[in-house]
Structure formats: structure tokens, C-alpha cells
Amino acid sequence: MKSTHEILEETCLEAHRLLCSKQYVEFNHILQDFDFSGMPIIGIALLRASFSVRSFLPDWRSFRERLRDQLGDRAEHLLRGLGEDKKTVI
């Protein structure tokens, strides 16, 4: 079984590959299908990695909302800066 660190590293590398090659449809599928159970840190990494191209990802905002629901009280702190503008926290 892979450690959280290994999964995070693999996920970030794949996210980087897809985003750098502008494969937004494929990346958006990841956002649609992502299961947060047990590893919300992976969701945070995907959200942060894709923030600058969120306008190309139709499911980015709904992914953020699903992640916010999963994080509960920790969401405000962990998702700081991922709002619609720089002044918005979430």
C-alpha cells in the first residue's frame, strides 16, 4: 500500500503534466471523479495546482465546494486564497 506522501507526489506530478500540456478536459475529469475519503490533502493540492487555470476547468468551483464541505471547520484556514478574488477567503 502506498503512503499518503507517495500518493500526493504521484498526483501532483500527474496534475503538473496535464496542466502544463493544457489537457484541461482530462484534468477536469479528475476533479469530477475525485473521492475525498481519507485524503483531503490530495484535493487541496489539486485545487491549488489548478487555481491559475480554473477558468478552463468547469468543475473547479464545485470541486472547491465539495472539498470545503469535507474539510468542515478547517476549510477557512486550508483553502485561504482560493476564492473568486484575492480578497475572498473561500
41 lies in some domain: yes
Give residue-wise pLDDT tens across range 4-14. Answer: 888 889 988 99
Cα separations (Å) of 14 from 21, 59, 69, 76?
11, 18, 25, 27
The number of folded domains in the chain is 1
More confident residue, 64 or 86: 64
24 lies in some domain: yes
pTM recorded for the entire structure: 0.84
Give residue-wise pLDDT tens across range 26-81. Answer: 999 999 998 877 788 899 999 999 999 999 999 999 999 999 999 999 999 999 99
Is the four-CA dihedral 88, 64, 39, 73 of positive or negative sign? Answer: positive
61 lies in some domain: yes
Residue 61: domain span: 4-78
